């Protein structure tokens, strides 16, 4: 498939609520993600360790830690689903896991922990704005020589050259049904979308936009602008950028979420360009992507750009409002 939203693959996923079993089912069905976490936890956790699962969801990672022999496991989630997670753990005889209905601000622990495990990553890392709460918990409760799972995450970008993508982006410009949609026809070319792309939709060479060491990164040093370079291997016309993340959970376990990786429940994010961008072999390009929203629960906006040193295309999604709030009544 060239382009397909996750909602199309999983009709129940549109609810996007962690109170909903359907959302947890989607994540548990992601064998790449779940098996990788189980392997990393088994590799890292020792019998003397206390493990904190932050944002525990169904408690699956906490149960993996208990299965790996941790002396103590703490599971934390701000969703009321935490009650169900506890019931699942008890149904599987994991009675020693302590469950806390808390967030990063309200959580109170008596002692520091040896391992923090968290599946905090949203699409393109930042889609769910969970990094800052995780770092706050790490700074308060991880022991000096403690372990983070994931240990490192990285952001990547590719150049989308599939004309089917352009056709989709320009749908409203083509006056479907003989209707002029000019007030909104430009919006799809300046607005991100969640997509699942085949590898042939992007050029072979991709850009590494940066990595986050989960042991050392903090709010002050977390980049708000991610930038990298890529040199195309052939002449092509680029219609959009595409970005995804990879994760090193531990020294021996990693996975990616890009077009060439094994499929996961994470989509890639499409960053359309307002006009086609022609690239040439040997001419280095600089790609920049910036998440503009930090707060949990806020709609995520992005800015992005591409330049070859001569031509530059850039978009700030936040500066493209469709309309302001209006009073009720005739306008």
Q: How far apart are CA 141 and CA 143, in angstroms?
A: 6
Instruction: Report CA torsion sign: 18, 23, 28, 33.
Output: negative
Give the rounded distance of the alpha carbon of 66 from its chain centre.
27
CA angle 32, 37, 39 (to 5 degrees): 95
Distances in Å between the Cα of 299 and the Cα atoms of 24, 99, 105, 296 are 21, 29, 21, 9
Nearest Cα neighbor of 154 from 245, 244, 269, 216 is 245
Q: How far apart are CA 243 and CA 259, in angstroms?
A: 9
Residues forming a β-bridge with 229:
286
Q: How far apart are CA 303 and CA 190, in angstroms?
A: 9
Q: How far apart are CA 141 and CA 137, in angstroms?
A: 6
Is 85 within 8 Å of 56 (Cβ atoms)?
Answer: yes
Is 113 within 8 Å of 142 (Cβ atoms)?
Answer: yes
Tell me how far apart the terminal alpha carbons of the chain are, to the nearest angstrom.
Answer: 42
Active site (catalytic) residues: 119, 128
CA angle 43, 49, 50 (to 5 degrees): 120
Q: How far apart are CA 327 and CA 331, in angstroms?
A: 9
Buried b (16+ CB within 10 A) or exposed e, 266-286: bbbbbbbbeeebebeeeeebe
Q: How far apart are CA 243 and CA 158, in angstroms?
A: 6
**Gyration radius from the chain CA atoms:** 22
**Residue 118, phi then psi, degrees to nearest 5:** -155, 135
């Amino acid at each position: 498939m060239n382009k397909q939203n996750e909602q199309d693959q999983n009709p129940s996923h549109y609810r996007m609520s962690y109170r909903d079993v359907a959302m947890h089912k989607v994540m548990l069905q992601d064998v790449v993600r779940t098996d990788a976490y189980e392997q990393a936890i088994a590799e890292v956790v020792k019998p003397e360790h206390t493990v904190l699962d932050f944002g525990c969801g169904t408690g699956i990672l906490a149960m993996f830690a208990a299965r790996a022999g941790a002396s103590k496991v703490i599971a934390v989630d701000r969703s009321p689903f935490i009650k169900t997670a506890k019931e699942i753990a008890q149904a599987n005889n994991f009675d020693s896991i302590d469950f806390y209905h808390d967030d990063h601000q309200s959580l109170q622990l008596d002692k520091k922990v040896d391992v923090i495990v968290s599946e905090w990553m949203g699409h393109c890392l930042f889609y769910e704005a969970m990094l800052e709460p995780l770092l706050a918990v790490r700074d308060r409760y991880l022991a000096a020589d403690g372990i983070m799972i994931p240990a490192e995450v990285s952001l990547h970008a590719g150049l989308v050259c599939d004309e089917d993508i352009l056709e989709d982006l320009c749908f409203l410009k083509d006056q479907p049904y003989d209707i002029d949609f000019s007030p909104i026809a430009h919006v799809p070319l300046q607005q991100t979308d969640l997509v699942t792309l085949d590898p042939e939709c992007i050029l072979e060479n991709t850009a590494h936009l940066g990595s986050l060491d989960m042991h050392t990164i903090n709010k002050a040093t977390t980049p708000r602008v991610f930038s990298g370079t890529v040199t195309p291997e052939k002449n092509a016309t680029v219609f959009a950028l595409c970005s995804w993340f990879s994760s090193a959970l531990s020294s021996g376990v990693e996975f990616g979420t890009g077009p060439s990786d094994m499929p996961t429940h994470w989509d890639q994010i499409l960053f359309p360009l307002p006009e086609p961008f022609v690239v040439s072999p040997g001419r280095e390009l600089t790609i920049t992507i910036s998440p503009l929203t930090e707060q949990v629960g806020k709609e995520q906006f992005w800015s992005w750009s591409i330049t070859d040193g001569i031509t530059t295309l850039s978009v700030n999604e936040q500066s493209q409002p469709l309309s302001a709030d209006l009073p009720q009544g005739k306008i």
